[in-house]
Structure 1
Amino acid sequence: MVSQVVGHEQLMALIDHTSAVIYMRDADGHYLLVNREYERLFNLRREDIVGLTDHDLFPGPIADEFRANDLAAIDCGIPLQMEEKAPAEDGMHTYVTVKFPLHDEDGRAYAICGISTDITERKRAEEEVRRLNDELELRVRQRTAELEASTKELDAFAYSVSHDLRAPLRSLEGFSQVLLEDYAGDLAEEAQGYLHRIRANATRMTQMVDDLLELSRASRSQLRREHTDLSALAREVVAELAACEPGRPVTAEIPDGLTTSGDRNLIRSVLHNLLGNAWKFTARTDQPVIAVGVRRERGIDVFEIRDNGAGFDMNYADRMFDPFQRLHRASEFEGTGIGLAIVHRIVTRHGGWITAEGVPGRGATFRFTLTPEIQ
């Protein structure tokens, strides 16, 4: 008898010192036992609870749910886990509850035990996260709609600028040409020089408009990733460059098997600008060589384009990818200074990076990736 009393006291001490709500009801739903946490939570004394049912303590719908869960655990015969809600001073609380039946020697369930853990704070935190996510999603949709509207406006503006600028530029170039062809005999040599400069600058302005439009497209066009044969693209670009200067011998070293994943049209623009620069800046080199290659670094392919042309001063390398920045005088090498800005935009949109190294008179090397770097 003493051992039974001690055992009962030890059991009560155990369940009274846990933070979970523990209780036992008979098969008809009358309370047999509750722990101190139950008393504290519902502000009731255990001696006042024993013999009562949930319908005596809670509103009908809540008591009905408790009873239904009790009967489900009895019918199942094994522990069941569910979520239950009960009122508290600060509102409804949510509990994760495990209920299991107790059986007599004949296997009949004579009682149901429950262990409930308050997860209200977790639920409230989850709800707050859900609310914030919904709010963020709404803000993203709104921002996306604003950006789409801005993009349409920019496209319309770019088209308008292109259309409105091209017409007067064509007039400048055309009328200058007419003056040179039809009235050259009436014009002094100095006047003819002015007209040549007008034509050259109109042509340069037209090219700048074209380059700005390409820069705009490189920034906003939809990115479509696909398996791309970079070797084949590089050979196409070099062939086009050679066709424009058929009498110029340039050695182009392009190995087979250079492939990547990216937008084929945008990657072609990268190669067109980088190889075009290499072609241009080797114009005064006795034996010009342009080489395309790749090496593996940190799990990604780093492509490079090298030449042995004019090169550049590394003190100015940090600005060469900005629009309209030129490291050589226009009298030495023509250009608008937008090509490398286009390359930088495209590479960045692919999640990659680009760097440049050069030595004046000894060539330049551009290295770039088209996939994010593995951390």
Structure 2
Amino acid sequence: MTDVRSTLVGQEQLMALLDNTSAVIYMRDTEGRYMVVNREYERLFGVQRENIVGLTDHDLFPKDVADAFRANDLMAISLGSPVRMEEIAPGDDGVRTYITVKFPLMDANGHPYAIAGISTEITERKRAEEEVRRLNEELELRVKQRTAELEASTKELDAFAYSVSHDLRAPLRSLAGFSEVLQEDYADKLDATGLRYLERIEANATRMAQMIDDLLNLSRATRVELRREHVDISATAREVLADLADAHPDRTVDAVVDDGLTTTGDPDLIRLVFLNLLGNAWKFTAKRSDARIRVGNVAHEDGPVLAVSDNGAGFDMRYAAKLFDPFQRLHAATDFEGTGIGLAIVNRIVQRHGGVVWAASEPGDGATFYLRFEDLGEK
């Protein structure tokens, strides 16, 4: 009598344990007839355990759902070990999804006499995953559409660049040419005011030509496909400085470039960076008899940083935020010529190389431009 009572107590405790879990737990015999279900099963599928005993899934669910449940039962029985799978079942608000573990129960002879299942609902997770998948598909479609729009814009920009480089240069050359002819052949027929007007025409034609070149370089810095090669920054900087010295033989500049400065990137675009930075340094030191320019690595908390410094006019750091925007000038055109595009070109090229550029300066005390490329080192 004590053994029977102990058995009954043990069964009650087991059912209490099963009934107080959030998982769906059930047991069916090898023919698929229900033997027991827990409270969560009753709640989810609207049945009473006393009414479900002896029924099969085909009595409770649509045929396709019941067939899938039965196939999973037979698989676990056949393997003789726990099997984990994803199952679906109808619910009040649509299809519900479960992660199920099924395992056979063996008798004393090692033969299966029942199949037990433990199912944990993952419907909300699946719906969230589906929403993420849908949003990703929408994002991918929007990216494709945006890419197509950018490609179309790029073609328009290419056409504009072609027009600028060909259609605008011809009349500009004609304007400069005729003003030069007037100065050479008709100078004696013009007074000082007329000659000054011609000089202004020629100067503005030259400035417009430079602006066209800068705009094309800005476009090229944005659109051209990057080549990844070893770049000798030291050699590039020295070549640019040598060209500047040849173009301005009247200038004496103490220019120093550290040895072994290297990076990986597009050689032509990186040369364009130093054409602009060193060109600016050369220009803004023009009023100093002791002009100095230096290119070298400096210590930085994030690693080596390239610095291009000079002791020229400098600028007010209050306006530094505008420094790399196109057509922004921090000095009057009467003091220093320029189009205000060069630093925008520098910024775009450095960004395309995975880097960043910034500056520090004081008016009258020179400027330093810092560049951190994605791959900057020393030999």
The equivalent of 2:205 in structure 1 is 202
Say which is worse superposed, 100-109 or 216-225, in terms of deviation: 216-225
- In structure 2, C-alpha distance between the alignment counterparts of 1:87 and 1:337, rounded to whole Å: 67
2:255 corresponds in structure 1 to 252
Query: Is contact 1:230–1:260 with CA below 8 Å preserved after alignment?
Result: yes
- Segments of structure 1 that go 5 or more residues without pairing to the other structure are none
Question: Does the C-alpha gap of structure 1 residues 263 and 62 become closer, same or farther in structure 2, counting only changes over 3 Å?
Answer: same
Aligned pair partner of 1:354 in 354, 357, 365? 357
1:217 Cα deviation after fit: 1.9
1:322 has 2:310 as partner? no
Indicate which of 85, 100, 104 corresponds to 2:103: 100
In structure 2, C-alpha distance between the alignment counterparts of 1:238 and 1:38, rounded to whole Å: 82
Deviation at 1:62, TM superposition (A): 1.9
Q: Judging changes above 3 Å, is the alpha-carbon distance between structure 1 residues 87 and 325 closer, same or farther for their aligned structure 2 residues?
A: closer
Q: Which amino acid aligns with 2:79?
A: C
Deviations 1:21-77 (A, max 9, x none): 111111222211111111121111111211122222222222222122111111211
Out of 281, 289, 293, the residue aligned to residue 292 of structure 2 is 289
2:41 to 38, 43, 48: 38
Mapped partners of 2:337, 2:131: distance in 1: 59
Q: Report how far residue 366 of structure 1 moved.
A: 1.3
Q: Structure 1 residues 224-233 or 47-56, which shifts more?
A: 224-233
Please give the secondary structure, in 2, of the residue aligned with 1:326: coil
TM-score scaled by structure 1?
A: 0.92
Structure 2, unmatched stretches of 5+, are: none
**1:19 — aligned with what?**
22
Deviations 1:153-182 (A, max 9, x none): 122123223433222211111111112222
Alignment of 1:212 with 2:215, yes or no, is yes
Residues 300, 371 of structure 1: 8 Å contact kept: no
CA distance in 1, matches of 2:210, 2:259: 33
Contact 2:296 2:307 in 1 (8 A): yes
Task: Compute the TM-score of the two structures, normalised by the length of structure 2.
Answer: 0.91
Alignment of 1:1-375 (within 5 A): 1-246=4-249, 248-371=251-374
Provide the C-alpha distance between the structure 2 equivalents of 1:62 and 1:324, rounded to a whole number of angstroms.
68
Q: What is the one-letter code of the residue matched to 1:280? A: K
Q: Is the 8 A contact 2:76 2:102 kept in 1?
A: yes
State the Cα RMSD in Å.
2.1
Shift in alpha-carbon separation, 1:99–1:332, aligned structure 2, 3 A: same
Q: Could you give the per-residue CA deviations for residues 75-114 of structure 1, whole angstroms, max 9, x where no partner exists?
A: 2111110111112222221111101111111111111111
Q: CA deviation at 1:351?
A: 4.2
1:215-248 deviation line (CA, Å, top 9, x unaligned): 2222333344444332222122222222323454
Q: Secondary structure at the match of 2:238?
A: helix
Deviation per CA, 1:280-331, whole angstroms, max 9, x where unpaired?
Answer: 2223322322111223434343211111223334444343333333333434
Q: Is the Cα–Cα contact under 8 Å of residues 35 and 46 in structure 1 kept in the other structure?
A: yes
Task: Report the residue type matching 1:122 in the other structure.
Answer: R
Between 221-230 and 79-88, report the one with greater CA deviation.
221-230
Distance 1:313 1:12, change over 3 A: closer
Secondary structure of the 2:59 match is helix
How many residues are treated as equivalent by the alignment? 372
The Cα shift of 1:212 comes to: 1.5
CA distance in 1 between counterparts of 2:172 and 2:106 reads 97
CA pair 68-307 structure 1, distance change in 2 beyond 3 A:
same
User: Structure 1: which amino acid aligns with 2:144?
Assistant: R
Amino acid at match of 1:151: T
Identity of aligned residues (%): 67
